[in-house]
Amino acid sequence: MQINTVSTNKPAIKMRKPLNGVRIVRSIASYFLLTFVAVIMIVPFLWSISTALKGQNEAIFSFPPKFIPANITLENFVTVWNSLPIPLYLWNSTVLAFWGVLLPLLFCSLAAFPLARMNFKGKNIVFLIILSTMMIPGEVTMIPIYLILDKLKLIGSYSGVILPGAVSAFGIFLLRQAFVGIPKDIDESAIIDGASPRQVWWYILIPMVRPMLATLAILSFIGAWNNFLWPLLILQDPKTYPLTVGLYDLKGTFVTNTRLVSAGAIIALLPIMIVFVAFQNFFIKGAYSSAVKG
Amino acid sequence: MYKARHAWMFLAPAGVLLATFSLIPALAALVLSFTNYNVFQPVEWVGLDNFIKAFHDKKFWSALGNTFYYWILVTPALVVLPVFIAILVNQKLMGIKLYRLVYYFPALVSVVVTAILWNWMFASDGIFNYIISLININPINWLTSKEFVMVSLALVTVWQGLGYYMLFYLAGLQSVPTDLYEAAELDGAGIWQKHFFITFPMLRPVIFFITVMSTMSAFKEFTLMLAMTEGGPIGASTTVVYLVFEKAFKQLDMGYASAISFLLFIIILILTLINKKALDRTY
């Protein structure tokens, strides 16, 4: 790791206490441990990348394992891209993720508004029922949800994949907390000025909870992009498969061609990696706020 | 200033969806587990037959055993190891944010990609067999032997969960008031004493939360098995939910599958209560 070699002697600048031998030894030991753990986390990725870059003539498995291919080649990526409808899978995943982010944002923020800022009969009971759905385990509802989707004639359609996840009690809870934090008189003065509740919601409240919306969007994106079980159960036409299910198929078809399967896995990994790097702070925040519910 | 009519209008879409895909299914599952519903025949009420059947079903007991085994392998590791990693990344060092990101990233990888990555690690000429060959141990069939398949799957789960649970501990660590440490330092406490007497007690709520979370997810795990081993070899990695999945969607025995899923739900509930009792007592 580069960071290790570059920065072992630098952190002293940031420390409040004067530099001394114990501190240097401690930070060197820390970097050693940190890097050791990092290597463990990264090795499975490196191994797959290295496998995907190896040509057909080079052995994949050797003792000791070779991480750097003798001849780096992109032919596996080209083969996978050409022999499988990867662009189509990518597009399908994108469509599913788009709805899988947009609908929870819309429905959760709609429902959170009255729960946070209106007084009406039955409000507490409604909120309690919504919270209680968080405790219903997914493995219990899996079968009935499938049967309900079957009754609604949604098996095989994207609606069948999207709708069961289109609203989450957790998301409602998260946004309710955000709405509660906004001063009450804002609504009042807007209503006196002639705004409708819909306008208050859209023009005043929504812009004020943007960070929380971004957090929910990221959490929903990970869920939707990685969704494997529901597309597998619901979708029937291979042309509609998202990347996860397509890759699961690829794993079965090319079971002997390690290089191709690796290349496919790397292609599937890239989008989530890009989103992660671009929005890293929201990811961390999202994980924190999901801790709040516990 | 708002009318009740407005409130219900805003609640309607979410309400309909939650009712359709959460509340009604939960009730339906309970009803289904007392029937013999199997798609082809007319539904018949069978009382407790499904539950009695489960008690005499060897496959159910074996799946339950596998699930407990997987839980014992996974949960202690995921409760303990991330504490140390969180302490490690809670230092003020250059580039520490990058390390946090690297540790967290595996949590974002879909189960299918994870399965592919780790299939190569566990391959007969893969990295694990190379490492153990260095200390003169014969190659192991990580994913294809009854003895090792659960250990291998647990390794994958721990790899994926470390960074995720690390974040919760990190949040907990950062909420520990620093003057506690300073006071302890003045009293002459060493680094381990500080952690033992301040950090761990202060992290108690997080420890409980993570024990519950990782227990629940260990008991529900089955997509990893679906993607890596398909429950094999000879059912050695068939967990309870995998059995539910198999019964419901491969054999279409929906009533029986619902009954099993309910039994599992009750087991998880009991374990959560025990967890709470145990943690209340230790401190």
CA distance B154 to B151: 5
Q: Which residue has the tokens 């994207």?
A: A158
CB neighbourhood size of A51 (10 A): 26
Q: What distance in Å separates the CA atoms of residue B153 and residue A141, rounded to the nearest whole number?
A: 25
Helix (H, G, I), strand (E, B) or coil at B102: helix
Q: How much is the pLDDT for A58?
A: 74
| Among A103, A126, A146, A128, residue whose Cα is nearest residue B21 | A146
Residue A125 at interface with chain B, using a CB cutoff of 8 Å = no
Nearest to B48 by CA among B223, B282, B263, B243: B263
Q: Three-state DSSP class for B35? A: strand
> A294 — contact with chain B (CB < 8 Å)?
yes
Is residue A169 within 8 A of residue A134, CB to CB? The reply is yes
Does residue A218 contact residue A105 with C-beta atoms inside 8 Å? no
Q: At A74, phi and psi to the nearest 5?
A: -100, 10
Distance CA A277, CA B269 (A): 38
Nearest by CB to B98, from A3, A166, A244: name it. A3
- Four-residue CA torsion sign, A226, A224, A220, B257: negative
Query: Helix, strand or coil for residue A71?
Result: coil
**Residue A148, Cβ neighbours under 10 Å: how many?**
19
Give B279→chain A minimum CA distance, Å: 15
Amino acid code (one letter) for A161 = V
- In B, which residues are within 8 Å of A140 by CB distance? 25-26, 29, 258, 261-262, 265
Q: How far apart, in Å, are the Cα atoms of B38 and each of A30, A119, B131, B249?
A: 58, 46, 48, 10
Mean pLDDT for chain A?
Answer: 84
Min Cα distance B263 → chain A (Å) is 10
CB atoms within 10 A of CB A87: 9
Residue owning tokens 């090795």: A43
- C-alpha–C-alpha distance, residues A153 and A130, integer Å: 26
Q: Where are the domains positioned within chain B?
A: 49-282
The long-range contacts involving A9-13, CB below 8 angstroms and separated by at least 24 positions, are A10/B94, A11/B92, A11/B93, A11/B94
Name the pTM for this structure.
Answer: 0.87
Identify the three-state secondary structure at position B135.
coil
Contacts of A118 in chain B (CB under 8 A): 2, 6-7
Cβ density class B36-64: b for 16+ within 10 Å, e for less: bbbeeeeeeebeebbbebbeebeebebbb
Each of the 283 residues of chain B gets a pLDDT tens digit; together they read: 788 888 999 999 999 999 999 999 999 999 999 998 887 788 888 889 999 999 999 999 999 999 999 999 999 999 999 999 999 999 888 889 899 999 999 999 999 999 989 988 898 888 888 888 888 888 888 888 998 999 999 999 999 999 989 988 988 888 888 888 888 888 888 878 888 888 888 888 888 888 888 998 899 999 999 999 988 788 899 999 999 999 999 999 999 999 999 999 999 889 888 887 877 766 5
Average pLDDT of the segment spanning A181-209: 90
Q: Nearest by CB to A143, which of B102, B106, B248?
A: B248
Beta bridge partners of B45: B35
Tokens representing A156 are 């095989």
Task: Pick from A14, A119, A140 the residue to mutate for testing the B interface (most B CBs within 10 Å).
Answer: A140
Please state, in angstroms and rounded to a whole number, the distance separating the CA atoms of residues B91 and B95: 11
CA distance A215 to A286: 5
Question: Is A11 a residue whose pLDDT tops 60?
Answer: no
- Helix H or strand E encompassing A173: helix A169-180
The CATH number for A81-292, chosen from 3.40.50.1820, 1.10.540.10, 3.40.50.300, 1.10.3720.10, is 1.10.3720.10
Residue of A118, A142, A258 with shortest CB distance to B2: A118
Nearest CB to A244: which of B112, B164, B249?
B112
How many Cα atoms within 13 Å fall on the side-chain side of residue A110? 21
| pLDDT (average), residues A78-101 | 89
Residue A137: φ, ψ to 5°:
-75, 140
Cβ of B251: how many Cβ atoms within 10 Å? 11
- Position A33 pLDDT exceeds 70: yes
| Residue A156, Ramachandran bin (φ over 0: left; ψ between -120 and 50: alpha; else beta) | left
By Cβ distance, the residue of B28, B108, B127 closest to A43 is B127
The region of weakest confidence among A66-70, A170-174, B182-186, B213-217 is A66-70
> Min CA distance, A241 vs chain B (Å)?
13
B266 token code pair: 């009750």
Which two three-digit tokens encode residue A225?
Answer: 């992009």
Mutual angle of helices B149-174 and A280-292, in 10-degree steps: 90
Nearest CA-CA partner of B4 in A114, A12, A116:
A114
Read off the pLDDT band of A254 (50, 70, 90): low
Q: Which of A30-44, A232-246, B134-148, B251-265 has the lowest mean pLDDT?
A: B134-148
Rg from Cα positions in chain B: 23
CA distance B201 to B196: 8
Beta partners for A54?
A72
Amino acid found at B90: N
A18 preceded by cis ω (within 30°)? no
Contacts of residue B109 in chain A, CB cutoff 8 Å?
A: 226, 269, 272
- A10 within 8 A of B94, measured Cβ to Cβ: yes
* Residue B258 near residue B32 (C-beta atoms within 8 A): yes
Token pair of B22 as six digits: 């959460």
Q: Which of A144, A279, A135, A155 has the alpha carbon at shortest distance from A220?
A: A279
Q: Which CATH number is B49-282's, of 1.20.1050.10, 1.10.3720.10, 2.60.120.260, 3.30.300.90?
A: 1.10.3720.10
The rounded distance, in Å, linking the Cα atoms of A64 and A42 is 18
Both tokens of A204, joined, read: 């005043």
Cβ neighbours of A72 (radius 10 Å): 10
Q: Please say whether the beta carbons of B156 and B143 come within 8 A.
A: no
Burial of B217 (0-12, 13-18, 19+ CB in 10 A): middle
In percent, how much of chain A has pLDDT > 90? Answer: 41
Which chain B residues touch A169 with a CB distance below 8 Å? 18, 22
Lowest-pLDDT choice from A108-112, A187-191, A251-255, B7-11 = A251-255
Q: Which residues 157-186 of A are in CB contact (within 8 Å) with B?
A: 163-164, 166-167, 169, 172
CA contacts within 13 A on the Cβ side of A241: 20
Domain segments of chain A as ranges? 2-73, 81-292
Asked if A139 and B92 come within 8 Å (Cβ–Cβ), the reply is no
